[in-house]
Structure 1
């Protein structure tokens, strides 16, 4: 069959040697017609993207090759079957199949404990190097100003708000939840209490939301000193530097710095902390920061990350993936970093069927058990999977955390009664309530000027 020039779609294109550009929207419309599929674009406008040599990228015998040829050079990816979604490439998100291949590649590098220990050393060094936290740590105020509110009594626990100066004029605010008992003597180590640090996730309300308050108050009723803090750029921090600072390139470093500074302060300020029983927990982005805190502070004895830390998703927010920690040691992922930080210490992962952690029971959990097995400690790493639940820190997830910390930290499981806890209004958990100390940084611009001068 002979194709006439009039029927040939290339006839209207410039002469050979030109770029044969077309709008991506037009090319995708043709692809949809050719292969009988619907193509939709998310998070960008296909009308503004020009595709050089557009028609030459089409492979009439293969939809998948056509889509790859069109999109990958443009930094775009696609997924789906009869309905195809096109969106910008997300460096922090991969597929479960990608995660499976990565974990298999990682596991092949260490067949025994000695090989794993060498890999662990490389991963930890790479993570700490990628965080580049040293200038921030050197910039911490040597004698920080601490503003604390009154200790408020509740049923079996107390709350006390704090504002801790970190970098000069930069404050992190949070609340200390503690058991409501007589003060303990620092001279009696056996009577000291576990410390649980709980960075908050990205759910609306941050650390003021009901589920987070229930978690913190119940841990205190069970016998732990539990401390939280605002997300950088959220809560009272938003009043100081604005919400936009949360997506700045330094947000991840600021959040890790805050977790570390609060931990150091609470240990130094209280005589009742048992530093052999320090733990961290958090949901979603809070799980990332619980892990990163443990990565820069080797004192943590147990970790309970909830609905996060899989092999194929790094979080997406700059506060979680703004620094390339998963490129450590030639390429890593959150489960391997979790193992490098914690094995063979006790770890609980809580997953569900309604988010990216749906892969945990079949993919990440067996991988973690293999590494803990190098130490004969497979039972020290646990997974509670809730297949009918979604991405939250709901009652069943919190109950799993209570049970885990009761076993690993010696907390009183009989006091894990959330009905005895009180949900406070946001203002009641604020340390400063808009009354910022003299000399405080009051904008993102002032903060960035300060960061430029870090030693």
Structure 2
């Protein structure tokens, strides 16, 4: 049979190695993508290695009328995807399970909205999803294991209008969490704001984090931040690689709950004013804490809430909580805070770029079930990117001034003393 086929192929001018039915019309992936680039007039940048990768039925996967379908057909077999950058540039990247495209959000949000048309249906959905989030996160297995010991405190450091005190708190399975308490120097009852930090430079030791918490403290709020799992003093305990594990997702949530458990017992805390505020991954943590803990009365996630990005770090999406309720997203989880005051801070340079047109109106609708549409706000900065810059911090300050009645006359970041990392690390009080 082989002797008959080979001469036939040669007779028709088909040489060995050419695309044929027998070879499944296979071509190198790099060649196919090069052709796609020319056909659609686009540029490609690679975050993957295509060396040696071959694509069966290669050219049959091309859809001349749709670049999107072409990319999907060509890249899906390798778990790759194309992400549009600026202009006609596309980046070929590994598939990221927590990241989708704006178009996916524009499909998901109407689908979620179709599941509930009134307060009763929304409450039923919210209750069901909350329970499943807890179960998928596994938080209720750890909470009973937490130590009841009081925190250890470091020396109080006094500054212009505020103080800073480091602490170390035992949690579960012998672990601890370290952080700092920024408090007003004035007496009386103060609102409390739990401030999980994101992946910005130097974590809770960074200048931007200190500026925000100290300024809020000067205006009258007690603010608490703490290390990410596997960052800072946590890295000393569990190693930095621990941050890239699903345990980070669970332990950071656990740490936030336990810190609130303890802080809410302080005599200078007004339990009717309990806020949560963080940026980027800290914003994701803020939303998660608001879902897990009903004690919060105000929530302010910054550059984080999206219907098409769950957070690319295991500390944000290491456990499959986004599968709760048959599929959810951070926008729906944020909406569960209704009707309590919430503000979303977004920008034009990251996954919050669609907030004003997509996520915010959807969340407003859910607040409308309670007749409290005005209780959710959005500050959008279309010309800014992913950071916690001055305009974003000013939006946070105004939100808490309006919501918690902070003293706006004390809003002055120049009065904040920026400490080095060593000063913010826990050291027991010396007798």
TM > 0.5 fold call: yes
Deviations 1:190-226 (A, max 9, x none): x422110000010111011111101111111111111
Indicate the residue corresponding to 1:102 in structure 2.
108
The superposition leaves residues 92-124 of structure 1 with CA deviations (integer Å, 9 ceiling, x where unpaired) of 111112111111111122111111111111221
Matches within 5 A, 1:17-416: 17=22, 21-32=26-37, 37-42=42-47, 44-58=48-62, 63-80=67-84, 83-143=89-149, 146-182=151-187, 191-268=188-265, 270-340=266-336, 342-416=337-411
Cα 1:63–1:374, aligned 2, differ >3 Å: closer, same or farther? Answer: closer
Following TM superposition, by how much is the alpha carbon of 1:55 offset from its aligned partner in structure 2, in angstroms? 4.6
1:65 is displaced (CA, Å) by 4.2
Instruction: Give the secondary-structure state (helix, strand or coil) at the position aligned to 1:237.
Output: helix
- Looking at structure 2, the residues matched to 101 and 34 of structure 1 have their Cα atoms a distance apart, in angstroms, of 28
Q: For the residues of structure 1 that align with 2:279 and 2:153, how far apart are their CA atoms?
A: 26
- Name stretches of at least 5 consecutive residues in structure 2 with no aligned partner: 1-8
Q: Hey, what's the Cα distance between the residues in 2 that align with 1:132 and 1:162?
A: 26
Distance in 2, matches of 1:276 and 1:82, equals: 51
Deviations for 1:131-166, whole angstroms, at most 9, x for unmatched residues? 11122213212336x321111111111110011111
SS in 2 for 1:250: helix
Gaps of 5+ in 1: 183-190, 436-455
**Normalization by structure 2: what TM-score?**
0.90
SS in 1 for 2:297: strand
CA distance in 2, matches of 1:61, 1:298: 50
Change (3 A) 1:18 1:432: farther
Deviation at 1:18, TM superposition (A): 5.2
Change in 2 beyond 3 A, CA 1:153/1:109: same
CA distance in 2, matches of 1:412, 1:8: 85
Equivalents in 2 of 1:9, 1:294: separation in Å? Answer: 65
TM-superposition CA deviations, 1:344-397 (whole Å, max 9, x none): 000011112222212111111111111111111111001111222221111221
CA displacement at 1:343 relative to structure 2: 0.2
Equivalent residue number for residue 12 of structure 1: 17
